Amino acid sequence: MHSTFLRREHIHGLLLGVAIGDALGLPRENLCRRRGLKMFGRGPLRYQLSRARGFYSDDTQLMLLTAQ
């Protein structure tokens, strides 16, 4: 029988996945589709880092605070 409780590894994976997705989407945040395509192209990795490595957004910060 499977437990309905999430294992610690699943929760860590979830938090990491959200942070990575947020970091990849951060440069396009608040841009309309046309402007985003003009600035960055179609691929998610076709742009330079817009912030220093290790930077995270307020969305990730709030998610981590909520998880605590």
pLDDT tens digits, 4-57: 567 888 889 999 999 988 888 888 889 999 998 888 787 666 556 667 777 788
Can you tell me the mean pLDDT for 48-68? 83
For residues 64 and 18, give the distance between their C-alpha atoms in angstroms, rounded to a whole number.
10
pLDDT at 39: 82
> For residue 2, what pLDDT band results from cuts at 50, 70 and 90?
low
Domain for residue 29, yes or no? Answer: yes
Domain for residue 55, yes or no? Answer: yes
pLDDT at 24: 81
Site of tokens 């945040």: 29
Domain for residue 32, yes or no? Answer: yes
Do the beta carbons of residue 19 and residue 56 sit within 8 Å? yes
> Could you give the number of structural domains in the chain?
1
Domain for residue 1, yes or no? Answer: no
CA atoms within 13 A on the CB side of 46: 9
